[in-house]
Structure 1
Amino acid sequence: MTAYPHEPAPGQGTGQGEPLSDDTQRSIGVIVHAVPAAALVLSAGTLGFVASLVIYLVYKDRGEYARRQAANSLNVQITTGILLLLSVPLMLVLIGFVTYGIVIVWAVVLHVVGAVRASNGEWWNPPLTPRFVR
């Protein structure tokens, strides 16, 4: 059987993804906060952004709740990255080592709170975090 150019071949998706159920969106909301939190701790703050960005790009069109949670996670990571970059020059006067640790703890706490709120299905915007991604 010949596949038409505009139809996906058997076993292939359309590339846009199906809308997710509410339970699945809540699960994605938990994952989108838990994975970057773990990545922050395991990589000293460098891989959390990559995890948030990948999850955002994969799930941004699959449901409003999943997109919003992924955007919140990405916003936390962007803010964290900016604050970590500001901490590096401060390491010359030793205070940067303290601020670097504080920023990591702050981001992990925001992600843990975000994961708990997402598991409850609550809409939540992280405090002290600008909305770079909407």
Structure 2
Amino acid sequence: MSTPPYGPPPQQPPAGPPPGQPPHGGPPPGQPPYGAPPPGQPPYGYGPQPLSSADERTWALVAHLGPPVLALLTLGLLGFLTPLLIWLFLRDRSAYVGDQAKESLNFQITLLIGYVIGWITVLMLVGFVILFAVWVASIVFAILAAVAVNRHEPYRYPINIRFLS
């Protein structure tokens, strides 16, 4: 058995960098800590910034005019994607854009029902008439909606099933 030595324990250097030097991996003296936002910017963790009036108008126009173009390119089946994406990503930044995208999305889902009925009945030749009528309705109402949102007014489609309220 050994006995502990007498006297004070041996001196060990203090943990950390020498005085006056930055800690290991830290910023140089006088600089803000890493992860801090640049001067003049809001601190991290704040919500999304609201859209300007011009941006609101632009995104509302895209929500109403994008679907007929996409529907034309995809035979009527994917026109709902434009307002869906705008509603999902911008509804927190602008109540107006969220409302208009939701209104357009409801209308596009209503039109999708018409397109599906048209494609099912296309073998009876009446389907072509239904498809054409649904597409023309989408163009006419999209133009009416675009005129309204360009004046920054809310637009409600007259023929619309409101799946999202």
TM-score (norm 1): 0.84
Q: What is the alpha-carbon distance in structure 2 between the residues aligned to residue 114 and residue 93 of structure 1?
A: 33
Q: How many residues align?
A: 128
Counterpart selection for 2:88 from 57, 60, 80:
57
Q: Please give the alpha-carbon distance, in whole angstroms, between the structure 2 residues aligned to 1:89 and 1:31.
A: 29
Which structure 2 residue ranges, 5 or more long, are not aligned?
1-32
Q: Are 1:87 and 2:125 an aligned pair?
A: no
Which of these residues, 116, 127, 148, is aligned with residue 117 of structure 1?
148
Structure 2 residue 104 is the aligned partner of structure 1 residue 104: no
Structure 1 residues 2 and 109, CA, compared in 2 at 3 Å: closer, same or farther? same
Deviation at 1:45, TM superposition (A): 1.1
Task: Indicate how the Cα distance of structure 1 residues 118 and 14 shifts in structure 2: closer, same or farther if over 3 A, else same.
Answer: farther
Query: Which has the higher relative contact order, 1 or 2, with Cα contacts under 8 A spaced 6 or more apart?
Result: 1
User: Residues 82 and 15 of structure 1: is their aligned pair in 2 closer, same or farther, counting only changes over 3 Å?
Assistant: farther
Matched, 1:129 2:160: yes
Runs of 4+ in 1 over 4 A off after TM superposition: 13-16
Q: Using the alignment, how far apart are the partners of 2:47 and 2:106 within structure 1?
A: 24
Q: Could you tell me which residue of structure 2 aligns to residue 2 of structure 1?
A: 34
> Contact 1:40 / 1:108 at 8 angstroms: preserved in 2?
no
Give the alignment partner of residue 22 of structure 1, picking from 53, 65, 73.
Answer: 53
Structural RMSD (CA): 2.2
Decide which structure has greater helix share. Answer: 1
**Which one has the largest radius of gyration?**
2
Q: Cα offset for 1:46?
A: 2.1
Structure 1: 5+ residue runs without aligned partners? none
CA contact (8 A) 1:36 1:48 kept: yes
Report if the CA contact (8 A) 1:37-1:112 is conserved.
no
